A and B are shown apart, each in its own frame.
Chain A
Amino acid sequence: MNSKTHKDPLFHISRKDPPVWWKRFGIRIIAVILALVLAGIVTLLLTKLNPIDVYLTMIDGAVGTKRRVWALIQKTAMLLIIAVAITPAFRMRFWNIGAEGQVLIGGFATAVVMLKLGGKVPTPVLFIIMVVSAIAAGAVWGFIPAFFKAKSNTNETLFTLMMNYVAIQLIGYFVLEWSVPKGSGQIGIINQKTQEGWIPSVGGNAYLVNVIVVAAITIAIAIYLNRTKHGYEIAVVGDSQNTARYIGIDVKKVIIRTMLLSGAICGIAGFLLVSGQDHTITKDTAGGNGFTAIMVAWLAKFNPLWMILTAFIICFLQKGAGEIATMFNLNLAFADIITGIIIFFIVGSEFFIDYKIVFRKSGKEVAA
């Protein structure tokens, strides 16, 4: 065995202390710039289009008109509330990937109340029943996996994922059952004429109420997590269940309570989607936001206030990329490529915040 048969590794990777805030910010900005450059080159090579034009179209698509601005705000708000909803569970390291199902079931409950009670009870009462049943439905969907996690330590990731399918199939069944006209497979716009159970426009803005509700919930959860005893318990359980038990925290109770909360907010998200946006229910009402929200929450390091920014970036990219696809006659896959490159760089930049690369000094420099 000769030492020459082995190449010395050039570098290794090690953890580092988190840098100061402006350095962290700087690393992320550089990542975005690099992403835009790379995405531009890819655009040029694949489509022969001027990247600057493409980016301008993107911005135009996202915020070009007042209507687009509101659509973007609404989209951001919906993604944000789901991200905020899953955050208590994720801070507890309860990997709740069932937001999609919890949102759907909350929306479904809302739709059922609109369908069955719309016009039969006074409007304020109708709204109360809608909200309560949406919250209850979401909470039940959160409670079931939490209960089994607490009782028999089942795997919450699989369990919450499965609960998504249960919700989807349940809605699929009832949509068919109640479809208008019969057999069309669609419920259609609920109470289109009377607009019973529709969240009203305020000052001409259909989404204003939604946005206000989401903002209030975001702030409330931020306070709940950082300033209250419950929030502290969640953090302790998330870091170490042994420490939690040692100090006398009832871990099972915290898991169930937190998932009830998480599910309940997802239920509210479902209510807002059905009552304040779609006015119908389909299997796609949540539109994958239950999963995108995980990325939004994670990028914001589970800080609800940062999620406003991360949710906005994601929605901005989606809206803008959609616009380039239509404007330049490209298909949606191209929009996904651009979005993918940018998100990849943003996520990847976290590596350079938490780790450093140490290059090996030549052995000769250090005198023996």
Chain B
Amino acid sequence: MISGIYYPDSGEILVNGEEVSITSPKDAFNYRIGMIHQHFKLVDVFTATENIILGLKDGPEGYDVKKAAQKIREISEQYGFDIDPDKKIYEMSVSEKQTVEIIKVLYRGADILMLDEPTAVLTPQETRKLFAVLRRMKQDGKAVVIITHKLHEVLDISDKVAVLRKGEYIGTVNTAGTNETQLTEMMVGQKVVLNIDRTEPVNPEPRLIVAHLNCMNREGIKVLDDVTFTANSGEILGIAGIAGSGQRELLETIAGLQPMVTGGVQYIVPETGEIEFLRDKTPLQIRELGIRLSFVPEDRLGMGLVATMGTTDNMLLRSYKKGKGLFLNKKEPKELAEKIIKELQVVTPGVNTPVRRLSGGNVQKVLVGREIAAAPRVLMAAYPVRGLDINSSYTIYNLLNKQKEMGVAVIFVGEDLDVLLELCDRIMVIGSGTVTGVVDARTATKEEIGLLMTKEVRTDEQ
């Protein structure tokens, strides 16, 4: 809204004590407000400079690329960016792209910078670099607004914190005078005990063996390169890596949604110790083998659930084929839906309200609830807490832990390294489609994992 994309129904915006009316991103620029979005808005085939001056025909340099590049170098030096103005966007890593976005708003002379979840795509090392730059901007007299869900980042970088809950302003506190517990309380609205009980794995034994997996995406680019690992029963295996390093493809390949070029996935039947080969099997064939493989995909409404259907009909997804005959049996799914709503405290007007209309946390509870109800032997979850409030996040963590205690092999793809270190038993790190290391989550440090995340030279980034 402040950057001009939305318009307020009521209320006003003050810039430097003056009431302003911002009806377009252009207006926002005129008030020296710059927004760095979570999803970059850059033209891939242009260079950094071309992207930065795009749409600035009235600027002092106009479209003079050389002068602009010079100015970009000056800005980079001033704040300590590391950027080549002539590099094309498609050759850049994610953090370089972000740098371009930040320079873009600085180039336009922004005094107020707003960053939406800037660290989601960065390693801890890159995050630290970004924060150093932001601190320099602060010294330079610029106002920086950073939107994030990672509390330790808030405490690390900010001076003041404004807490919002469901679109409502809760309050502002000085960072120096607050701590994680207080912020959490403000976010959730009640006192919460946030800890993850990590138990020792009981009788871990190999359940899922992935060997030398190679996989290409639709454009024919290699996304998984010789991935080999074992997931044990009664254990949570974390998967860490920069967003888009092949995590999604890995889980989808195991679930039978993506073809593999070479390699194999073996499932070891717990009762008999027999091996089932999952290669080239569809999700349906895997289920027909009696393998209870549950999967909470990253795209909840677009893949895990049917957005326009109610909770009951979404329960049907897993069970609609059950029973003979042409007709659907909605009785059991309805009971299951009611059970999940009750046990996981899903807030919904009813079992038939389209899940699209539920909040993110409730959508996820419906999805995870259904996947767990299938009594899985292997449970894969991709970013299961993304976009969820803290309370819901911990509900999910506890559910995963409970599954682990029941002997399920849990595979957890996460982005918050603090959580991964607290929740998982082992953490596998992947960087651009290869496994760069497996560490013990009880002893590893964030720095160690961060180094592993960027260990391989990233050439085919996105």
Residue A12 interfacial (CB < 8 Å) = yes
Residues of A within 8 A of B19 (CB): 3, 363
Given the contacts A229-B321, A239-B309, A3 and B255 also touching, CB distance less than 8 Å: no
* Cβ–Cβ contact A245 & B317, under 8 A: no
CB distance from B34 to the nearest CB of A (A): 16
CB distance from B313 to the nearest CB of A (A): 8
In the bound assembly, the distance between CA atoms of A228 and B12 in angstroms comes to 53
Residues of B within 8 A of A250 (CB): 282, 284
Residue B20 interfacial (CB < 8 Å) = yes
What are the interface flags for B109-143 relative to A under an 8 Å C-beta threshold, 1 for contact and 0 otherwise? Answer: 00000000000000000000000000000000000
Residue A351 interfacial (CB < 8 Å) = no
Given the contacts A235-B306, A243-B303, A363 and B10 also touching, CB distance less than 8 Å: yes
* Cβ–Cβ contact A242 & B302, under 8 A: yes
B residues lining the A interface (CB < 8 Å)? 7-12, 14, 18-21, 23, 27, 30-31, 255-257, 282-287, 295, 297, 299, 301-309, 313, 316-318, 320-321, 326-328, 357
* Cβ–Cβ contact B27 & A17, under 8 A: no
* Cβ–Cβ contact B304 & A246, under 8 A: yes
Residue A361 interfacial (CB < 8 Å) = yes
Q: Kindly identify, within residues 343 to 368 of chain A, every residue whose CB is under 8 Å from any CB belonging to chain B.
A: 358, 360-363, 365-366, 368
Residues of B within 8 A of A8 (CB): 7, 21, 23
* Cβ–Cβ contact B12 & A363, under 8 A: yes
Residues of B within 8 A of A363 (CB): 10-12, 19
Residues of A within 8 A of B20 (CB): 3
In the bound assembly, the distance between CA atoms of A50 and B339 in angstroms comes to 63
Top 10 nearest A-B pairs by Cβ distance? A248-B284, A248-B283, A361-B10, A242-B303, A239-B306, A363-B12, A6-B21, A1-B30, A3-B21, A228-B326
Residue A9 interfacial (CB < 8 Å) = yes
Contact of A240 among B306, B326, B327 (CB under 8 A): B306
Given the contacts A236-B306, A360-B9, A366-B12, A227 and B327 also touching, CB distance less than 8 Å: yes
* Cβ–Cβ contact B303 & A232, under 8 A: no
* Most chain B C-beta atoms within 10 Å of own C-beta, residue among A242, A245, A246, A365: A246
CB distance from B374 to the nearest CB of A (A): 11
Residues of B within 8 A of A248 (CB): 256, 282-287
Residue A68 interfacial (CB < 8 Å) = no
Number of interface residues of A (CB under 8 A): 34
* Cβ–Cβ contact A360 & B10, under 8 A: yes
Residues of B within 8 A of A362 (CB): 10
* Cβ–Cβ contact A243 & B9, under 8 A: no
* Cβ–Cβ contact A229 & B27, under 8 A: no
Other A-B pairs, 17, CB within 8 Å; known A246-B255, A363-B11: A3-B18, A9-B23, A17-B357, A227-B328, A231-B328, A235-B309, A239-B306, A240-B301, A243-B302, A245-B257, A246-B257, A246-B304, A247-B283, A247-B318, A250-B284, A360-B8, A361-B9
Could you give 30 example pairs across A and B, Cβ below 8 Å? A3-B20, A3-B21, A8-B21, A9-B7, A17-B357, A227-B327, A228-B326, A228-B327, A229-B327, A232-B316, A239-B306, A239-B307, A239-B309, A240-B302, A243-B306, A245-B257, A246-B297, A246-B304, A248-B256, A248-B282, A248-B283, A250-B282, A360-B10, A361-B9, A361-B10, A362-B10, A363-B10, A363-B11, A363-B12, A363-B19
Contact of B320 among A229, A360, A368 (CB under 8 A): A229
CB distance from A252 to the nearest CB of B (A): 12
* Cβ–Cβ contact A240 & B27, under 8 A: no
Q: Kindly identify, within residues 217 to 248 of chain A, every residue whose CB is under 8 Å from any CB belonging to chain B.
A: 227-233, 235-236, 239-240, 242-243, 245-248
CB distance from B84 to the nearest CB of A (A): 34
* Cβ–Cβ contact B304 & A243, under 8 A: yes
Residues of B within 8 A of A6 (CB): 21, 23, 27
CB distance from B299 to the nearest CB of A (A): 7
CB distance from B334 to the nearest CB of A (A): 14
What are the interface flags for A5-21 relative to B under an 8 Å C-beta threshold, 1 for contact and 0 otherwise? Answer: 01011001000010000
* Cβ–Cβ contact A243 & B328, under 8 A: no
Residues of B within 8 A of A243 (CB): 302-306, 317
Number of A-B contacts (CB under 8 A): 98
Contact of A230 among B283, B313, B316, B326 (CB under 8 A): B326
In the bound assembly, the distance between CA atoms of A366 and B9 in angstroms comes to 11
* Most chain B C-beta atoms within 10 Å of own C-beta, residue among A228, A232, A233, A247: A247
In the bound assembly, the distance between CA atoms of A12 and B23 in angstroms comes to 12
CB distance from A261 to the nearest CB of B (A): 13
Q: Kindly identify, within residues 62 to 94 of chain A, every residue whose CB is under 8 Å from any CB belonging to chain B.
A: none
CB distance from B88 to the nearest CB of A (A): 30
CB distance from B218 to the nearest CB of A (A): 11
Contact of B31 among A1, A236, A245 (CB under 8 A): A1
Residues of B within 8 A of A1 (CB): 27, 30-31
In the bound assembly, the distance between CA atoms of A177 and B248 in angstroms comes to 60
Given the contacts A239-B308, A245-B283, A365 and B303 also touching, CB distance less than 8 Å: no
Residue of A nearest to B318 (CB): A247
Residues of A within 8 A of B328 (CB): 227-229, 231-232
Residues of A within 8 A of B31 (CB): 1
Contact of A368 among B12, B284, B309 (CB under 8 A): B12
* Most chain B C-beta atoms within 10 Å of own C-beta, residue among A9, A17, A245: A245
Residue of A nearest to B31 (CB): A1
* Cβ–Cβ contact B299 & A242, under 8 A: yes
CB distance from B5 to the nearest CB of A (A): 12
Given the contacts A12-B9, A240-B303, A361-B10, A246 and B295 also touching, CB distance less than 8 Å: yes
In the bound assembly, the distance between CA atoms of A247 and B306 in angstroms comes to 11
Residue of A nearest to B11 (CB): A366
In the bound assembly, the distance between CA atoms of A230 and B328 in angstroms comes to 9
CB distance from B278 to the nearest CB of A (A): 13
* Most chain A C-beta atoms within 10 Å of own C-beta, residue among B7, B287, B306: B306
Given the contacts A8-B21, A227-B328, A247 and B11 also touching, CB distance less than 8 Å: no
